[in-house]
Amino acid sequence: MKEAGFSPFGGVNFDVKVAGGVSTQYVPEELKKAVASKPLAPPEPPPDGWEIMDIVESKPAVIEEDFASSKGTFRIRVVTEPVMASRNMNYKSIHDEPTYWVSWVTKISWKPLKG
């Protein structure tokens, strides 16, 4: 995170780099068995075999950090939440699970801290 010029939101803009990933908490045994003999997924998403999934339950990832800038100290808030998900049963992960892909949105905001 670094200061990156002017903004009408407190007089300063911030460059915030966001990195994230997806992991499974539980995969039913029948899905693991269905992909056990499949090849490992390549580094880039393959073009075949994707099934769009419903996101039944999710909780946004939220982090807040205070950052001292040339215009004072700001509380920077980053909220990330999933918007689409797909599963691929033609390939497996190194854990013998189907391959999953999630698209998410990231919302970044900041407010000056008083005092």
Q: What is the pLDDT of residue 98?
A: 97
* CA–CA dist 30, 97 (Å, integer): 10
Q: What is the pLDDT of residue 114?
A: 83
Q: What is the pLDDT of residue 39?
A: 98
The tens-digit pLDDT sequence of the chain (115 residues) is 899 999 999 999 999 999 888 888 899 999 999 999 999 999 999 999 999 999 999 999 999 999 999 999 999 999 999 999 999 999 999 999 999 999 999 999 999 998 5
Task: Check: CB of residue 104 under 8 Å from CB of residue 80.
Answer: yes
Q: What is the pLDDT of residue 22?
A: 84
Contacts of 65 (CB under 8 A, 6+ apart): 1, 75, 76
